[in-house]
Amino acid sequence: MMDITKVVAKMRFKYHTNMLDVCNVANQIGLLKDKKAEEKMKNHTMQSLDCLERLGYDVKGYSNQKE
């Protein structure tokens, strides 16, 4: 069983990754301008990465390997 912090991080991760899809669709149908959509998607991406770190994934190590 996961502790409460991991459960919350998993829920936050699902929320932020779903919001990436919502922002993308809103931009495609013209509800969000390109610049605003880019800002929102950047924020949701950073929040998603934070959640992955809280879940124990080595996000920084993985991104450093790709450079």
Q: Is residue 61 part of a domain?
A: no
Residue 2: predicted pLDDT: 72
Q: Is residue 8 part of a domain?
A: yes
The runs of H, that is alpha helices, within the chain are 4-28, 34-54, 59-66
Predicted confidence band of residue 48 (pLDDT cuts 50, 70, 90): very high
Interatomic CA distance for residues 44 and 20, integer angstroms: 6
Q: Is residue 22 part of a domain?
A: yes
What pTM was computed for the model?
0.83
Q: Is residue 37 part of a domain?
A: yes
Give, rounded to a whole angstrom, the gap between the first and last alpha carbons of the chain: 35
Q: Is residue 63 part of a domain?
A: no
* Domain span holding position 30: 4-56
